[in-house]
């Protein structure tokens, strides 16, 4: 498992017809390694466990990625830190299971998921409370599906920027924005709704 990155959870049916790769959040800048107490990673594990009964019953497996470091760390001459990790994870899981993949990403995980949506196995991205700057590239989503859900009281990432990004991405992808109501960033309120929206979006993406 190079550079500390790891596939930490594999919730798989006997013969998966599709897979979900769950990507967690992070920070704008940090080269600190992800430890076992990472709240962002633990939230992604909890999300996977909540989704598992619904998706496994439909022969859809779930895999969680833990990045090597905490930050996005974009630079002039380097890819953001989680992007190579996510491409590695996609290569790993599709080498084992040659099936379509939907990415579920929270916060920075959604931004990472969009960045790697051009991987041939990926059908689309479910972006939960995403960090999607309105001017981020939309090209990786060409021909894919984007389903974004954001609460109006989020003060960590911007629901307005997400709406603008979704509107721009509609030029190259099948996009939809869901207003999650007056709730914040960490998906700690209205948990059943977050789970239901995520599961429905995954199923829609993988039905194509």
Q: How many CA within 13 A on the CB side of residue 87?
A: 10
Confidence band of 1 (pLDDT split at 50, 70, 90): very low
**DSSP character at residue 78:** B
pLDDT for the residue numbered 78: 77
**DSSP character at residue 32:** P
User: CA dist 192 to 18, 21, 45, 62, 189, Å?
Assistant: 23, 20, 16, 18, 9
pLDDT for the residue numbered 48: 97
pLDDT at 2 over 60: no
Beta-strand relationship, 101-106 and 18-23 = parallel
Residue 196 region, left (φ>0) first, then alpha (ψ -120 to 50), else beta? alpha
- Share the mean pLDDT of the chain: 95
11-45 per-position pLDDT tens digit: 999 999 999 999 999 999 999 998 888 999 999 99
Range of the domain at 196: 2-206
pLDDT at 75 over 80: no
Can you tell me the mean pLDDT for 113-140? 98
CATH for 145? 3.40.50.1820
Question: Shortest CA distance to 205 belongs to which of 99, 97, 49, 133?
Answer: 99
- Name the domain count of the chain: 1
Across 12-160, the runs of DSSP E, i.e. the strands, are 18-23, 60-66, 101-106, 122-128, 145-150
pLDDT for the residue numbered 143: 98
Can you tell me the mean pLDDT for 130-135? 96
Distance CA(205)–CA(208), nearest Å, equals 6
């Amino acid at each position: 498992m190079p550079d500390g990155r790891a596939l930490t959870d594999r919730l798989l049916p006997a013969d998966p017809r599709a897979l979900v790769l769950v990507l967690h959040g992070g920070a704008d800048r940090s080269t600190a390694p992800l430890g076992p107490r990472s709240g962002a990673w633990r939230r992604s594990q909890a999300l996977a466990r909540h989704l598992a009964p619904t998706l496994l019953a439909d022969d859809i497996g779930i895999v969680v990625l833990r990045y090597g470091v905490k930050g996005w760390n974009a630079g002039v001459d380097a890819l953001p830190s989680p992007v190579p990790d996510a491409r590695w994870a996609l290569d790993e899981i599709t080498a084992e299971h040659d099936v379509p993949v939907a990415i579920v990403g929270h916060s920075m995980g959604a931004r990472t998921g969009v960045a790697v949506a051009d991987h041939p196995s990926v059908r689309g991205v479910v972006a939960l409370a995403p960090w999607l700057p309105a001017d981020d590239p939309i090209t990786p989503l060409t021909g894919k599906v984007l389903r974004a859900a954001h609460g109006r009281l989020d003060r960590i990432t911007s629901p307005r920027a997400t709406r603008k990004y979704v509107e721009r991405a509609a030029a190259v992808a099948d996009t939809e924005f869901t207003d999650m109501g007056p709730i914040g960033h960490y998906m700690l309120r209205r948990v059943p709704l977050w789970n239901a929206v995520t599961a429905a979006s995954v199923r829609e993406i993988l039905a194509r």
